[in-house]
């Protein structure tokens, strides 16, 4: 059998800033629509995974921490951005750990997070995450299964930082 892909949509609201950009450098927000795709073989239950399990164990733990938060990127910290400082001090920030908070970087961050989350439970081929910043603009990142050894190394690295 080949692989099948399931897809589920989520929505979060976040503030962010892209340092130095004439428009996006001002503090503003998006209602991000986030499509999560999991590609794997359909199991004996007739599904790839229960959507409820995808929500509860993979996607929601991360998205709930990001929702209604200021997404802080490394450039916000390095530039001494006062809104980022205030959000961090007020417990209203989510630190992405990426260089910038572009849709591309957010989708890369989430694809890796969710790939690891699914890989802890079952074998899979890939996880794709599309981050829609507006109804016309989005970025998609895919985290691929390479082989068992590389997946183990990825999971070990993530566990070491948790």
The contact set with Zn ion (CB under 5 A) reads 24
Nearer to Zn ion, 39 or 81 (CB): 81
Nearer to Zn ion, 24 or 139 (CB): 24
24 and 32 Cβ atoms separated by less than 8 Å: no
In degrees and rounded to multiples of 5, residue 45 shows phi and psi of: -75, -5
Q: How far is the CB of 21 from Zn ion (least distance, A)?
A: 9
Nearer to Zn ion, 38 or 105 (CB): 105
Q: How far is the CB of 69 from Zn ion (least distance, A)?
A: 14
49 and 119 Cβ atoms separated by less than 8 Å: no
Residues 6+ apart with CB under 8 A from 41: 1, 2, 3, 4, 48, 123
Q: How far is the CB of 55 from Zn ion (least distance, A)?
A: 26
Q: How far is the CB of 135 from Zn ion (least distance, A)?
A: 14
With b for 16 or more beta-carbon neighbours within 10 A and e for fewer, the 69-79 pattern comes to bbbbbbbbeee
Instruction: Identify the bridge partners of residue 95 per DSSP, sorted by sequence position.
Output: 72
Is 138 buried (19+), middle (13-18) or exposed (0-12) by CB count in 10 A? middle
Nearer to Zn ion, 24 or 42 (CB): 24
Residue 11: helix, strand or coil by DSSP? strand
Residue with the closest Cβ to Zn ion? 24
Q: How far is the CB of 103 from Zn ion (least distance, A)?
A: 8
Nearer to Zn ion, 5 or 137 (CB): 137
């Amino acid at each position: 059998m080949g692989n099948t892909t399931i897809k589920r949509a989520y929505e979060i609201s976040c503030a962010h800033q892209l340092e130095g950009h004439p428009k996006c450098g001002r503090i503003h927000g998006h209602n991000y629509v986030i499509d999560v795709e999991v590609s794997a073989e359909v199991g004996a239950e007739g599904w790839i995974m229960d959507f409820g399990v995808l929500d509860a164990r993979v996607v929601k733990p991360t998205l709930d921490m990001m929702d209604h938060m200021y997404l802080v990127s490394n450039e916000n910290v390095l530039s001494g951005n006062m809104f980022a400082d205030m959000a961090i001090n007020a417990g209203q920030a989510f630190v992405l750990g990426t260089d910038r908070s572009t849709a591309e970087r957010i989708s890369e961050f989430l694809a890796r997070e969710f790939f690891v989350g699914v890989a802890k439970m079952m074998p899979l081929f890939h996880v794709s995450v599309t981050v829609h910043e507006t109804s016309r603009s989005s970025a998609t990142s895919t985290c691929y299964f390479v082989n068992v050894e590389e997946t183990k190394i990825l999971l070990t690295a993530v566990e070491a930082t948790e």
